[in-house]
Amino acid sequence: MSKALVIVFVKNIKLGKVKTRLAKTIGNQGAFEVYKELVEITEIATSEVMADKRIYFSDVIIEEKWQGFEKFVQQGEDLGARMKNAFKKGFEDGYERIVLIGSDLPDITAPHIEKGLEVLKNKDVVFGPAVDGGYYLVGQTKIHDCIFDNMPWSASNLLETTFQRLNEHNITFDILETLNDIDTIEDLEASKFYQDNSELQEKIKLLR
């Protein structure tokens, strides 16, 4: 067994259940098409990383997807609890460096994830900041409850608040390159992922 683990959180791709903020402008079908492509990008990036991998679905395990990944369902009342439980199981199973990523990043690559694992050789925690003030990647060498408990999820000060807590507890951390996730039509239209994808543009144009 590798001592390094990559965890991916993914929503089950259901019409009307993914990218709800985006769906307000491009409709449920448009949001569905965008998220489906983002998940494929995430699967390709993580598949190239030399580490063990686990996929955590939001609702139900899909066996035919994510070949080579151990598969689980997220458990917990909020995002913090769900992430903490996934990390906790990883450490209980003997992993020493764990990074967790989301699945809505058009620019995520294997080197981003590998860099996160590399940072954990010298730091307690690592983050990949998102443009909106949150983060797309979090990594640890052991569980730090202060990262997950009673946090302002989806708020623009999430990462700032997290850094304050880490400093209060003298936990060492580093950050990776900032990336933008896709939550709104502005995020989508500003992304190279969308600008270079004429087929997706045409689909959304027809659906709007």
pLDDT in tens, 79-113: 999 999 999 999 999 999 999 999 999 999 999 99
Helix (H) or strand (E) holding 185: helix 185-190
pLDDT of residue 68: 86
Structure tokens at 122: 């010298």
**Which residues, 6+ apart, have CB-to-CB distance to 82 below 8 Å?**
9, 56, 74, 75, 76
Helix, strand or coil, per DSSP, at residue 179: strand
Rg value, the chain, Cα: 17
Q: At what angle do helices 110-119 and 20-47 cross, to 10 degrees?
A: 70
List, for the chain, all residue ranges whose pLDDT scores fall below the cut of 70: 1, 208
pLDDT for the residue numbered 1: 58
Amino acid at 22: L
- 183-200 per-position pLDDT tens digit: 889 989 989 999 999 999
Domain locations along the chain: 4-207
What does pTM read for this prediction?
A: 0.94
Residue 71 phi/psi, 5° resolution?
-125, 135
Tell me, which fold does domain 4-207 have in CATH?
Answer: Spore Coat Polysaccharide Biosynthesis Protein SpsA; Chain A (3.90.550)
What's the confidence (pLDDT) of residue 203?
A: 86
